[in-house]
Structure 1
């Protein structure tokens, strides 16, 4: 890799002004709170969710057969390996925790001024994930998302890159909170009987309610810690 390009990726950039950070958070909320907008923007959370399942499955030595993303913002990650044990538990637990933890990691990078590095890492992860996508809608979703990161990384100036990066990280932190509450609501209405929480309950003999508590604890603590980094507290 060219030395100047490497320096550009790994170097630090100036923090944006405080109003940009706050405006980015407001914009992220605007993509999460209204139901009509959330039906579209939730696709990005699904990418992170299924990507989390897939990454942990590989790290646990499981064989990843493929990932499917659907237009209703649901998804499916299929892996092969031992059907019980720690590897399967961590793989199942990785979905709902992946978006907020990715947001927390992104906030840590932004807190150190690594805006360009964040954008390139996100692009690289999306390219790797694209190889494992097994349906047309999933390919379209990941290509559009990855293309957006790539275009912002290559064609825009530092101020636009910074604003975009802060919107993305705020979105992961804030958007990572909502899905677990939505799943709980759906289960109360008799749906989602084979959710991640139910699978974890069968694997560990720990009630699904405790796994929901775990999902909420991870997302809310990530939001609190990541928000403090983003706001420079």
Structure 2
């Protein structure tokens, strides 16, 4: 399959991405993946924080919880449109992060740059906005681990780590929408419910809109990345045979 520009689907990359998604799905309840789940919660809350700052507001503090809960406390100038953007920033923010990681990993092959950028983001958010010791310790501790991986892991291991984080973030973003917005009990206490109180648009409508936007964004990012010219992460093309001397 080729795009309009002639780029061909890289089956090796597709196989790697599907494998990483499968690993994340299979070990979803494993405590080993708990740090990644909290990391995606931080992406969600960072989406709220970034939306607040872009809208002229201020962020007071961010709280992460060990049970994968999160809270961004901020102040925003009045306005319905501002609140729509603010409340949408969480779920869509984690989807944007997943899409960005896929593109950075596959399309641009940033490798160590991905981990360094993630470390810098965590340190900045932790030092500026952490509202409790758990949040600060998680942000700084995770940043140190990512920085160490960027410095000492070989290129191949960095590539695989980046890909797994990207795939897991995308997977978690979709599962987060499913668990929070399509469960009526949870949805009643979600960002969709808060926005419904402001706009009088039912929370289920916001849930559907955010889900369509998030899934669409992730599909486009994956499609674009998987059709990029392979430069680093790749597997042998399907059907090739070794040449005889």
2:159 alignment partner in structure 1: 162
Q: Call closer, same or farther: CA 1:42–1:34 in 2, change over 3 Å.
A: same
The answer on whether the counterparts of 2:55 and 2:76 sit within 8 Å (CA) in structure 1 is no
Q: Deviations over 1:184-217 (max 9, x none)?
A: 3542xx3453310011112222221111112211
Partner of 2:191: 196
Alignment of 1:47 onto 2:42:
yes
Matched, 1:208 2:212: no
CA distance in 2, matches of 1:226, 1:208: 27
Spell out the pairing of 1:79-158 with structure 2 (5 A cutoff): 79-110=74-105, 111-131=107-127, 132-158=129-155
Matched position secondary structure for 2:62 = strand
Cα distance in 2 between the residues matched to 1:162 and 1:117: 11
Change (3 A) 1:151 1:25: farther
Residue 220 of structure 1 is matched in structure 2 by 215
Runs of 5+ in structure 2 lacking a partner?
1-9, 229-245
Number of the residue aligned with 2:23? 30
Instruction: Pick closer, same or farther for the CA change 1:33–1:230 going to 2, 3 Å.
Output: farther
Compare CA radii of gyration and give the structure with the larger one.
2
> Where has structure 1 moved over 6 Å in runs of 4 or more?
none
| TM-score after normalising by structure 2 | 0.78
Aligned pairs, number = 215
How far has the Cα of 1:65 moved from its partner? Answer: 0.4
- Tell me which protein shows more helix as a share of its residues: 1
Are the counterparts in 2 of residues 153 and 161 from structure 1 also a CA contact under 8 Å? Answer: yes
Please identify, of 36-45 and 83-92, the stretch whose mean Cα deviation from structure 2 is larger. Answer: 36-45
Cα distance in 1 for partners of 2:26, 2:95 equals 16
What's the counterpart of residue 73 of structure 2? 78
2:6 is matched with which residue? none
Query: Over the residues paired in the alignment, what is the CA RMSD in angstroms?
Result: 2.4
Unaligned runs of 5+ in 1: 1-16
